[in-house]
Amino acid sequence: MLGRGPSPLVIMQTADVVIIGGGIVGSSIAYHLTAAGCANVAVVERETAQGKGSTGKSMGGVRAQFSTPVNIQMSLYSIPFYASFDERLGNPAGYRPQGYLFCATSLKHLDYLRANQKKQIALGLKAVRMVSADEIRSLYPQLRADDILGGSFCSTDGFVDPYSAMNGFMAWAADHGARLWKNATVTAIHRDAQGITGVETTKGCFSTRVVVNAAGAWAAEIAKMAGVDLPVEPLRRMLVPTEPFDQFPHSAPMIIDMSNGFHFRPEALGFLLAWNDPEETPGYKLEFEPTFIEKILLRAADRVPIFENLAVNPKRAWAGLYEMTPDHHPILGSVPEVPGFFLANGFSGHGVMHAPATGKILSDLILTGKTSLIDTSLLDLARFAQGRTIHETAVL
């Protein structure tokens, strides 16, 4: 169904590319496009400031320890990019390579980590290695390790500051010609027989032949405006920062308890605690649920007994939204049925860590029609209807 034309009273601006969503993914796409010479880029953000969606609420972890080649490949571009971010863009991303340590508590977990490690090494990840239970106990004697059989560690995994990285991407893009419209809600996407013709917002309209959907957890609503059914749904994830705590080393990596998915990392003078509650249901639930604190502290104290003494201020805890797809992989690339409409959606919790790769992939596809970074057919929208899903099992 074709969208109606804009009112003749509306002043129309033109753009080569309009990106809907000014979070870290949209900002990275804007950066990569402008860096490739496409200066006439417009980013439309519905909030009064960037980062109010999922970006500003992210845990900020970056890792290459995935189970599928395509996710590993995206990390192998993204993590070195973050490592050189300050030099490339003149803004800090806050990359800290403190590593990720997966702690296996069953032979099945250990076999899983070994199989993943073989894929990671084959694709070029040099810093990943298996670690013994004795080494884990030696490094972190504070852990209850009676059931830990070993693990996997990668020293180039770590953390970034999502808000700083987002601002760095957008500032560089803006300095090189890109425009950012804040407080602008998209109300319509227009099409003709040849494809996309424009975008209408509460601030005005753009005439364009290329639109990128980078709307995060709200991506399905944007896709619907272009006549596209997008299998992306929001799922609440909650994070609990602790008060200052010095009885566990702040040089520690992200530590993942594979028995239940509890994970934590140093944050400021305390720690940031995370656990994906299997009872959580999809929906735009943006409020933190106070009963979550007891659930996560039980798991924290079980794995790290001295965490019984952790102090937590519920007012500092927060909730954000993952944008989930059925196979926990993003949907990237063009929609053949709607020429000019591109997708960068459904990262299932990996949007921050894969934002650099996503920017490169979308920029390549928009400007040249192809990319050498990954096989984009693996992540196209059609895979769901055609039964070609690929499931990522290393989801935190």
| Closest CA relative to residue 255, chosen from 267, 237, 245 | 267
The CATH number given to whatever domain includes residue 125 is 3.30.9.10
Q: Residue 1: pLDDT above 60?
A: no
**What was the pLDDT predicted at 2?**
43
262-314 per-position pLDDT tens digit: 999 999 999 999 999 999 999 999 999 999 999 999 999 999 999 998 999 99
Domain-ending residue, one of 322, 340, 366: 322
Q: Residue 8: pLDDT above 90?
A: no
| Residue 72 within any structural domain of the chain | no
Strands (E), the chain: 12-14, 17-20, 41-44, 61-62, 100-104, 128-132, 150-154, 158-159, 179-181, 186-192, 195-201, 204-207, 211-213, 233-241, 254-257, 263-267, 270-274, 318-324, 331-334, 341-345
71-104 per-position pLDDT tens digit: 999 999 999 999 999 999 999 999 999 999 999 9
| Residue 121 within any structural domain of the chain | yes
Query: Mean pLDDT, the chain, as a whole number?
Result: 95
Domain-ending residue, one of 274, 292, 322: 322
| Residue 124 within any structural domain of the chain | yes
- Find the mean pLDDT for residues 333-357: 97
- What domain range is 191 assigned to? 12-58+163-232+326-385
| Residue 90 within any structural domain of the chain | no
166-185 per-position pLDDT tens digit: 999 999 999 999 999 999 99
Q: Residue 4: pLDDT above 50?
A: no
Strand order in the sheet with 186-192: 12-14, 204-207, 195-201, 186-192
Q: Are 242 and 308 in contact (CB under 8 A)?
A: no
Euclidean distance between CA atoms 332 and 361, whole angstroms: 8
pLDDT confidence bin for 11, thresholds 50/70/90: low
| Residue 355 within any structural domain of the chain | yes
Q: Residue 63: pLDDT above 80?
A: yes
| Residue 66 within any structural domain of the chain | no
**What was the pLDDT predicted at 9?**
42
Domain-ending residue, one of 284, 300, 322: 322
Question: Are residues 307 and 330 part of one domain?
Answer: no
186-214 per-position pLDDT tens digit: 999 999 999 999 999 999 999 999 999 99
Question: Are residues 136 and 125 part of one domain?
Answer: yes
The CATH number given to whatever domain includes residue 375 is 3.50.50.60
Please tell me the total count of domains within the chain.
2
Q: How far is CA 69 from CA 40, 117, 120, in A?
A: 34, 11, 8
| Residue 69 within any structural domain of the chain | no
| Residue 187 within any structural domain of the chain | yes
Question: Are residues 317 and 238 part of one domain?
Answer: yes
Question: Are residues 119 and 23 part of one domain?
Answer: no
Question: Are residues 309 and 245 part of one domain?
Answer: yes
* DSSP category for residue 320: E
